[in-house]
Amino acid sequence: WDKILPDYFGIGPLLEDDMIDNIKNISGVYSKGRYRKANQEWEEDSTKKQEEATPEIIEAAETFVEEVYERMEMLSKKEQT
């Protein structure tokens, strides 16, 4: 919280402790939680999704997303140095 808020959003010092506590509480809840998933804690499911992906889905992801994903990875590594 001391790095992300000020470095990426430029708002760290402007927030009071109760506001930061609220952000921490919300960040632990699944962001797409609606209906039966409402208010559930987030859990990693990427591995399961990748294992269940059909060859057609993998091909579509490579065609439409891979270049953008690789660019984001490169930019992320660049920011860390």
Helical residues (DSSP H) of 2-54, grouped into ranges: 4, 17-27, 46-52
Q: Do 13 and 6 form a contact (C-beta atoms < 8 A)?
A: yes
The residue behind tokens 């430029």 is 10
- Specify the pLDDT at position 34: 64
78 band by pLDDT with thresholds 50, 70 and 90: confident
Q: Find all residues with CB under 8 Å of 33, minimum gap 6, and list them.
A: 39, 40
The pLDDT assigned to 11 comes to: 75
Amino acid at 32: K
pTM exceeds 0.75: no
Q: Quick one: DSSP state of residue 5?
A: I
Task: Please give the residue that has the higher pLDDT: either 31 or 72.
Answer: 72
Tell me the pLDDT tens digit for each residue of 11-64: 767 778 888 888 888 777 666 666 666 666 667 888 999 999 999 999 999 999
